């Protein structure tokens, strides 16, 4: 497609899918169960970490975890006791097990006793772009003693990973277009600085549309795609995640 036709095509797909009607079957439905900022952050964080595989399973496992936190994730993270943690023994989602969960809870606890938002764990100030924020977060999150295996659940650009799940989480927290899907809670980074989440489905569609040439689906592919999307909308390139993902998964484009 010519750029003007491509923009029109993708903008129409964004309008089609960037609506609350499509929330129910997407992991973003999990943080939408809450209204308070720290609850939204924690629910969204776990839903994004679990976001690989079947979407129904992702949503159900996220809800299972939150129900075991009495559907008050921030209060649980801040004030849980060893007895409370017993309710979570045996929790598992794919390779994420109770050891990983207990470390995640402890790391989040250490953060929230000092700060009122998870934003500062990624973007302690306005100097970090998305790549720097993701690198900072992994170093920060694993600054306490932990099992080496637990690190695999948090990606970093330094590993050449696409960081798809965390980029999706950042999209949820940063984008704000008043459409009722993304939350727009964080202000230390602008939507223009976000990196588009990319997986094999998005990469396939992007290549078909001429937005991506790189063969490997890695961090460089994510930044290449985002740079191409900035040519369509420099202020909000990641809005096209709605179009690319649903073209690939729903429409089998």
DSSP 21-82: GGTTTSGGGTGGG--SHHHHHHHHHHHHHT-SS-HHHHHHHHHHHHHHTTT-HHHHHHH--H
160 φ/ψ angles, rounded to the nearest 5 degrees: 65, 15
Question: Total structural domains in the chain?
Answer: 1
Return the H-helix or E-strand segment holding 229: helix 219-230
Q: What are the tens digits of pLDDT across the range 131-159?
A: 999 999 999 999 999 999 999 999 999 99
Q: What are the tens digits of pLDDT across the range 78-116?
A: 999 999 999 999 999 999 999 999 999 999 999 999 999
Q: How confident is the model at residue 1 (pLDDT cuts 50, 70, 90)?
A: low
Q: How confident is the model at residue 4 (pLDDT cuts 50, 70, 90)?
A: confident
Mean pLDDT (the chain) is 96
pLDDT higher than threshold 70 for residue 248 = yes
Q: Which domain holds residue 60?
A: 3-249
Q: What are the tens digits of pLDDT across the range 19-37?
A: 999 999 999 999 999 999 9
Contact present, 136 and 128 (Cβ < 8 Å): yes
Write the burial class of residue 146 (CB in 10 Å: 0-12 exposed, 13-18 middle, 19+ buried): middle
Q: What are the tens digits of pLDDT across the range 41-88?
A: 999 999 999 999 899 999 999 999 999 999 999 999 999 999 999 999
Say how far residue 193 (Cα) sits from the centre of its chain. 15
């Amino acid at each position: 497609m010519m750029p003007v036709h491509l923009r029109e095509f993708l903008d129409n797909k964004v309008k089609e899918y960037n609506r609350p009607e499509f929330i129910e079957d997407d992991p973003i439905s999990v943080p939408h169960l809450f209204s308070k900022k720290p609850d939204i952050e924690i629910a969204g964080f776990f839903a994004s970490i679990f976001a690989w595989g079947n979407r129904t399973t992702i949503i159900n496992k996220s809800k299972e975890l939150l129900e075991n936190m009495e559907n008050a994730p921030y209060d649980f993270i801040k004030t849980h006791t060893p007895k409370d943690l017993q309710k979570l023994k045996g929790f598992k989602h794919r390779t994420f097990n109770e050891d990983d969960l207990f470390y995640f809870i402890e790391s989040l606890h250490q953060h929230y006793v000092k700060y009122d938002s998870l934003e500062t764990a990624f973007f302690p100030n306005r100097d970090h772009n998305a790549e720097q924020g993701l690198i900072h977060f992994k170093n920060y999150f694993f600054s306490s003693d932990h099992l080496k295996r637990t690190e695999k659940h948090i990606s970093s650009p330094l590993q050449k990973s696409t960081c798809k799940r965390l980029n999706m989480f950042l999209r949820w927290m940063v984008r704000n277009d008043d459409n009722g899907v993304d939350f727009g809670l964080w202000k230390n980074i602008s939507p223009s600085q976000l990196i588009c989440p990319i997986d094999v489905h998005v990469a396939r569609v992007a290549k078909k549309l001429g937005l991506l040439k790189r063969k490997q689906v890695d961090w460089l592919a994510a930044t290449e795609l985002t740079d191409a999307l900035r040519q369509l909308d420099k202020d909000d390139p990641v809005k096209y995640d709605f179009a690319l993902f649903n073209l690939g998964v729903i429409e089998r484009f």
